[in-house]
Amino acid sequence: MISNEEVRVLIQGVETADSSDKLLSAVKALAAVRHEAAIPTLIDVLRYNNPGAAVAAVDGLIDIGEPTVTPILEQLDGYNYGARAWATRALAGIGDPRALDLLLEAARGDFALSVRRAAARGLGNIIWSKMPINEVKSQQLQTLETLLQVAQDPEWVVRYAAVVGLQNLGMSATSFNPDLLHHIIEQLRDKIMDDPDIAVRARVNMALQILNAQP
Amino acid sequence: MSNFQENSQVDSSAGNISADGGSLTVEEAIANLKQREDPSLRYYAAWWLGRFRVNEPAAIEGLLEALQDETDRAPDGGYPLRRNAAKALGKLGERRVVPALIECLKCPDYYVRESAAQALEMLGDNRAISALIPLLDGGVQAAQKVPGKPHLTQPYEAILEALGTLGAVEAASIIEPFLDHFTEKVQYAAARAMYQLTNNSIYGERLVQALEGNDLQLRRSALMDLGAIGYLGAAEAIAETLAENSLKIISLKGLLEHHLENSSLEEGLSQESLRIMKLMDQLL
């Protein structure tokens, strides 16, 4: 395990980087150690308006996982739009249920299609076992309804992501809620199969193939 | 390439912002195109009709008239309205405008010629082939920079890409030397056309190599070219290259669509389709 002192040096590297390239390598180095002490700095990088560094920071936050969720949610309100979008992507990758409301909202209504796309995919990654058992069923239903709505988005790539989200929701829900799986299969077959875009229809086919093979 | 850039905004920070629908109605746009008092309204209307694909007789007529415009002149002597009108006509799918666009290939304004070549590519009418080939006269030697201008003597990229898309097999031997042109973008356009005309993976691999280059703009350009020609061998390289996920997804979608053209979804998904979609999933 890397020492706190070593993490401190890597953090300093991010804070003192004086070029885009240096910042990118410093963020990558800091992300690579997967250390909780790196979390505040990685979150801070999301504000820098440097897409390369933000991608590396998002990947780093996703790798660290659950411990990053509370700090991200706590700081979210103070963010500019760009940083919020990157934070939403990180939360989508982690799948912690505490971010569910935020992802539902982002998937339905964010103005950037890349955020709707990431959020829709993230809704399929929710780790339901981390949610109080008495809430799971109603929250899954709400997630399903949102994804079905997102599957009508004007942008093909958002609809594609909704199909991916539905597939993964179906797979993660089976042990809690087998009815949900059947419902998802039905909806994919009857409604979303008519999508105007052949790439989306192909993805629906793939999802059905995978979901129908579920026990 | 340039069609792509116009149609989708590049995902630079958090993502694409869908284009503003504008406050015009179809009737207003057509009226703005027909009026003569305000050139800027006319210019915007031409763009708008293409952007929202208003394929109505009145729009087509207005745009055809705009191709002849003499009033709206740029400081460089160019014809801004003609450029927009030609681009718009490319998007409306109406093939009766092909002869008028072919005429535009002779326009003294480079950008009108470029817009017309791109529009003819989009319309997919092979009557354009014999009009496009003469623009390559003089071969690579003639394809030099115009002094004081940011462009070459002809819109070579657009011409080569159009010839490839239109399946101008007879032009292959004229196109091939452009693989050695001194600008990368022209080389890629030639590689792209040669792949479309021959299906030889040598040319696809040439574009795959471009994905490993140092210049982001050129990698983006190669992504769009690979998507346009649907070169399956590029899938993994597309997913790996350093560029925005949005562009990689669009490129992979091109591969997927091209592959699906020759198969039916009812027959089940091929291994190639599944492979491409798994790559796309990871980029969402």
Q: Do both A16 and A88 map to the same domain?
A: yes
Residues A77 and A152 reside in one and the same domain: no
Q: What's the domain range around A9?
A: 1-94
Partners of residue B246 in chain A, C-beta under 8 Å: 114, 157
Provide the H-helix boundaries in chain A: 4-16, 20-32, 39-45, 51-64, 69-75, 81-94, 100-109, 113-123, 133-150, 156-173, 178-190, 198-212
User: Can you tell me the ipTM of this complex?
Assistant: 0.89
Same domain, A81 and A127: no
Same domain flag for A125 and A180: yes
Give the number of other Cβ atoms within 10 Å of residue B87's Cβ. Answer: 25
Query: Could you give phi then psi for residue B145, rounded to 5 degrees?
Result: -70, 145
Q: Are B194 and B176 in contact (CB under 8 A)?
A: yes
What pLDDT shows up at residue B15? 32
Provide the CA A55 distance to its chain's centre, in angstroms: 13
A61 lies in the same domain as A121: no
Residues A134 and A28 in one domain: no
Indicate whether A121 and A22 sit together in one domain. no
Residue in A50, A113, A197 to test binding to B, most B beta-carbons within 10 Å: A113
Which residues in chain A come in under a pLDDT of 70? 77-78, 175-176
- Say whether both A42 and A100 belong to one domain: no
Domain end, chosen from A46, A66, A94, is at A94
Q: Residue A12 is part of a domain; what is its CATH number?
A: 1.25.10.10
Q: Is B25 exposed, middle or buried (0-12, 13-18, 19+ CB in 10 A)?
A: exposed
- Strand-pairing partners, residue B145, are B152
Domain endpoint, select from A68, A94, A120: A94
Task: Give yes or no: residues A108 and A154 share one domain.
Answer: yes
Residue of A nearest to B17 (CA): A112
Q: Do A120 and B265 touch (CB under 8 A)?
A: no
Give the number of A-B residue pairs with CB atoms closer than 8 Å.
76
**Amino acid B261: pLDDT:** 87
Q: CA-nearest residue of chain B to A163? A: B281
Find the CB nearest B284 among A82, A85, A117. Answer: A117
Last residue of a domain, one of A94, A120, A141: A94
Total number of domains in chain A? 2
> Hey, which residues does B17 pair with through a beta bridge?
A112
A148 vs B: CB within 8 A: no
| Whole-angstrom distance, CA of residue B273 vs CA of residue B264 | 11
- Kindly state whether residues A82 and A38 are assigned to the same domain: yes
Read off the pTM.
0.84
pLDDT at A78: 67
Residues B124-138 pLDDT 10s: 999 999 999 999 999
In this structure, the answer to whether residues A75 and A129 fall within a common structural domain is no
**Predicted local distance difference test score (pLDDT) of residue B18:** 36
Output Rg (C-alpha) for chain B, integer angstroms. Answer: 20
Q: What is the pLDDT of residue B22?
A: 55
Residues A191 and A114 placed together within one structural domain of the fold: yes
Q: Which residue type occupies A165?
A: G
What stretches in chain B show pLDDT beneath 70? 1-22
